[in-house]
């Protein structure tokens, strides 16, 4: 049984999908939800699903080995970022080489990088008049949204779409594909 840690900063809808997906699978479970905002809704979701949580601050992540030690102690095999907005430090990447993945709500390398999250991404897609957008699941390296791409899935954008409707379409893809891509990585 592999052990997954999900990192999230906000609502945690992807975290919830991942937790429930693996609840009835013999391959893995979400053993820990790491979050960095005391009032993040992901906490309610994790509690409801009886998944242990860990609230971290910047010192834990950047100045000490607190986070790494906790993850190692808990024998975490894969770190899954799902709406986690802080840059992952080099030492954590070194401690978990090729074991940290992220999902981005656009077709990288378009509309990625620091500050490109949430509705801003979909506003940029709309402003660019792109006719498609999608999701990118990728390994995490030291640069925001720049690691090796694992999988992309696409959806059409029409003239009638607004940033909000684009967000809804993209979120559907995220919920549909992220759990199964995680599963296939764990099977490698």
Annotated catalytic residues are 104
Asked if 122 interacts with ligand GRF (CB under 6 A), we say no
Task: Give the chain's radius of gyration (CA, Å).
Answer: 16
Alpha helices in 143-188 (DSSP H): 163-187
| Contact residue for ligand GRF among 68, 83, 133, 179 (CB under 6 A) | 83
Site for ligand GRF in 146-165 (CB under 6 A): none
| Part of the chain binding ligand GRF (CB under 6 A), chosen from 7-15, 44-52, 72-80, 143-151 | 7-15
CA dist., res. 141 & res. 30, Å (int): 22
| Contact residue for ligand GRF among 5, 6, 10, 92 (CB under 6 A) | 10
| Part of the chain binding ligand GRF (CB under 6 A), chosen from 12-20, 26-34, 52-60, 157-165 | 12-20
Q: Would you say 124 and 90 are in contact if contact means Cβ atoms under 8 Å apart?
A: no
Q: With left for phi above 0 and alpha for psi between -120 and 50, is residue 51 left, alpha or beta? A: beta
Q: How far is the CB of 170 from ligand GRF (least distance, A)?
A: 7
Greatest Cα pair distance, the chain, in angstroms, is 50
Nearest to 42 by CA among 54, 25, 29: 54
Asked if 134 interacts with ligand GRF (CB under 6 A), we say no
By the criterion CB under 6 A, which residues form the site for ligand GRF? 8, 10-15, 82-83, 103-105, 174
């Amino acid at each position: 049984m592999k052990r997954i840690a999900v990192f999230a900063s906000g609502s945690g809808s992807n975290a919830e999908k991942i937790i429930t997906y693996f609840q009835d699978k013999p391959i893995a479970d979400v053993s820990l939800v790491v979050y960095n905002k005391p009032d993040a809704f992901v906490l309610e979701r994790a509690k409801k699903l009886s998944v242990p949580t860990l609230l971290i601050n910047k010192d834990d992540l950047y100045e000490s080995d607190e986070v790494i030690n906790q993850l190692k102690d808990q024998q975490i095999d894969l770190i899954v970022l799902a709406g986690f907005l802080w840059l992952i430090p080099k030492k954590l990447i070194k401690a978990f080489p090729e074991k940290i993945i992220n999902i981005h709500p656009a077709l990288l390398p378009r509309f990625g990088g620091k500050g490109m999250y949430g509705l801003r991404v979909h506003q940029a897609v709309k402003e660019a008049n792109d006719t498609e957008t999608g999701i990118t699941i990728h390994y995490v390296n030291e640069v925001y949204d720049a690691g090796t791409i694992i999988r992309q899935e696409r959806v059409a954008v029409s003239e009638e779409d607004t940033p909000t409707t684009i967000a809804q379409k993209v979120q559907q893809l995220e919920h549909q594909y992220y759990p199964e891509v995680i599963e296939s990585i764990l099977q490698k």
